[in-house]
Amino acid sequence: MKSTKTSVVLFLSVLVTASCGGGGGGGNSPPPSTGINTALVASGSVIAGVEIIPNASRVISTQAELDQFVGRAGALNVPAEYRSVNFTLNSVLYVEGSGDNDPSSSVRIVDAETVNGVNMVSTEICGIPASNPSGHRPFAMYIVPASIRTAMFTSTQHSRPSCITVSDIQATRVAAGDLPLSTPPLVSPTRVIRNLSEWSAIASRIPVGALPAGYAPDFTAVTLIYLEGSDNDPSSYMRIIQVLRSVDNSVDAAYEYCGNTIVMLPTHLPYALYSVPKTAGTVRLNIQVHAPPNCATTAQ
C-alpha cells in the first residue's frame, strides 16, 4: 500500500512520499519505513559536452561537491540561494538521467524513504530513451535533512503522457525577434511576469508592431515568460522547448539559446515572449545552449 502526505519542512512546502511494503504470507510484518522529506529546488539539463559520470545520482554533503555539480548543471539552472547550502542542516539529493536525444526529458524523485536504516530513492526519467544518446541528460536537485548522507538509487523510464512526476503545460509564443541595440540592458533578462507592473517594464522594450494588435494579458488567467539574450550572432534566437509541472506544483520552463554566445561588444539582442496558463507556484527557467545545426528548436 502507498500513501502520499504533504508537509512543511525546513523552509519549503515539500512532497513527502512514504511507501509501505506489502505484507507477505505467514503473518510477516512489512519492514519499517520512514519517508524522507524532499524539496525540489533545481532542475534542467546538464551542460552539453560535460564529462559522462556513470551513476551520477548521489547525496551531496559538502560545499566542494555541490560546487562541482552546480558547475555540471550550469549555474543559471540552479537558483542562487541553493548554490551554497548549510550542510549542518541539510544535504542535497542530486539525480541525473541517462543520456538521451530528447531535449524535453526530465528526471524527478518518485519515492524517497528509509527502510531498515537504508535510504532508498526511486526516480522517474520522463522522456524518449535513446540507444545512441547525444549526451542530453536531465537533472534535478532536492534539499533533504542533513541526516541523509548516503542513498541507494533506482530508476524507471516513462514517456509522456504516461509520466507520473510531471505533466505538460501549453506555452504559446506571443512575440519573438530582435530588440533595437539602443535598448538598455536588464539586470535579469529572463523573467516570469505575473502582474501589470512587471509587464509594463517588459512591454516597453518590445518593438512597436511585434505584439498582436491590442494585446493585453489577463493575469487572472495567464503567466508570461520573457527571454532575452545578448550576442554577436545576427541569426541567434531563444525559444521555449517544454514547460512541465511537477507534483509539488512547481513549474519548469526549459528554453534554448540557439546561436553563438561569444559576446565582446553585443550587436544583437534576441528576445521571445510566451504565455502559459496562470501558475501561482515557483517557476524555474532552465536554459540549454546549442549551436546550429544542433539546436532543438527552430526560429519559425
Q: What pLDDT is attached to residue 30?
A: 67
Q: Is residue 262 part of a domain?
A: yes
Average pLDDT of the segment spanning 167-171: 97
The boundaries of the domain holding residue 191 are 168-290
Q: Is residue 300 part of a domain?
A: no
Q: What pLDDT is attached to residue 141?
A: 98
Q: Tell me which of 161 and 29 has the higher pLDDT.
A: 161
- pLDDT > 70: percent of the chain: 90
pTM, two decimals, is: 0.86
Q: Is residue 228 part of a domain?
A: yes
**Burial environment of residue 54 by CB neighbours within 10 A (0 to 12, 13 to 18, 19 or more):** exposed
Which of 164, 197, 225 is the last residue before a domain boundary?
164
Which of 102, 133, 164 is the last residue before a domain boundary?
164
d(CA 76, CA 44) in angstroms, rounded, equals: 10
d(CA 136, CA 45) in angstroms, rounded, equals: 7
Same domain, 132 and 222: no
Q: What pLDDT is attached to residue 213?
A: 95
Same domain, 186 and 72: no
Q: What pLDDT is attached to residue 20?
A: 36
Residues sharing a CB contact under 8 Å with residue 63, sequence separation 6 or more, in sequence order: 84, 85, 87
- pLDDT > 90: percent of the chain: 79
Which of 164, 189, 224 is the last residue before a domain boundary?
164
Same domain, 13 and 152: yes
Residue among 2, 12, 166 at smallest CA distance from 97 = 166
Average pLDDT of the segment spanning 202-221: 96
d(CA 203, CA 201) in angstroms, rounded, equals: 6
Same domain, 211 and 65: no
Same domain, 209 and 151: no
The backbone region for 268, taken as left when phi is positive above 0, alpha when psi lies in -120 to 50, beta otherwise, is beta
Q: What pLDDT is attached to residue 27?
A: 56
**pLDDT single digits (tens) 21-77:** 333 444 566 668 899 999 999 999 999 889 989 899 999 999 999 999 999 999 999
Same domain, 127 and 154: yes
SS3 sequence of 62-86: CHHHHHHHHHHHCHHHCCHHHCCCC
Average pLDDT of the segment spanning 74-85: 96
Q: Is residue 84 part of a domain?
A: yes
Place of cell 534554448: 256
Q: What pLDDT is attached to residue 290?
A: 93
